[in-house]
């Protein structure tokens, strides 16, 4: 008998890349883009990198994670992220159908980009677990 605690089932099942692109009414690129309008561009950037597995976006859109742009939100870049992500979610543009975990190196780069400073290697396993 296994004595390890069971994780509760999620209320909402976590989507997998096989669930993308979204289909059906309300999931065209314009509707998806409208829903992304108020979302934090830093988070959207991480979703974009996660779904496309393209680390080049981290450098290209680093300005959205820079605290110096907290007031302005780096809106031109944020809008481009929203457009790109809407294309991924609604049309599968650039989508990498890999349900496996992110490579540690990519995860570390994403975490460092998000907080706009280097993330120490020793905390990465803790972050991955979360």
Is 46 a domain residue? yes
pLDDT, one tens digit per residue, over 17-56 is 677 787 878 888 899 999 999 899 999 999 999 999 999 9
Q: Which domain holds residue 61?
A: 23-129
Q: Which residues contact 24 (CB under 8 A, 6 or more apart)?
A: none
**9 within domain boundaries:** no
Tell me the C-alpha distance between 67 and 84, whole Å.
23
DSSP 35-83: HTTTS-HHHHHHHHHHHH--THHHHHTGGGG-GGGTTTTTHHHHHHHHH
pTM of the predicted model, to two decimals? 0.81
Using alpha carbons only, give the angle 61, 111, 80 rounded to the nearest 5 degrees.
20
**Domain assignment present for 16:** no
Q: Is 4 among the domain residues?
A: no
Residue 89 falls within a domain, yes or no?
Answer: yes
Distance CA 41, CA 81 (A): 7
Query: pLDDT, tens digit, for every residue of 55-107?
Result: 999 999 999 999 888 777 689 999 999 999 999 999 889 988 776 788 999 99
State the total domains in the chain. 1
Residue 14 lies in a domain: no
Residue 108 maps to a domain = yes
């Amino acid at each position: 008998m296994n004595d390890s605690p069971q994780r509760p089932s999620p209320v909402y099942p976590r989507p997998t890349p096989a669930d993308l692109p979204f289909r059906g009414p309300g999931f065209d690129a314009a509707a998806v883009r409208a829903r992304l309008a108020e979302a934090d561009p830093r988070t959207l950037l991480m979703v974009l990198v996660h779904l496309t597995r393209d680390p080049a976006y981290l450098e290209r859109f680093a300005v959205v994670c820079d605290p110096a742009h907290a007031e302005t939100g780096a809106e031109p870049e944020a809008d481009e992220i929203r457009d790109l992500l809407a294309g991924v979610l609604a049309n599968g543009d650039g989508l990498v159908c890999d349900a496996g975990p992110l490579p540690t190196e990519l995860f570390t780069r994403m975490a460092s980009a998000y907080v706009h400073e280097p993330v120490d290697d020793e905390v990465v396993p803790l972050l991955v677990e979360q």
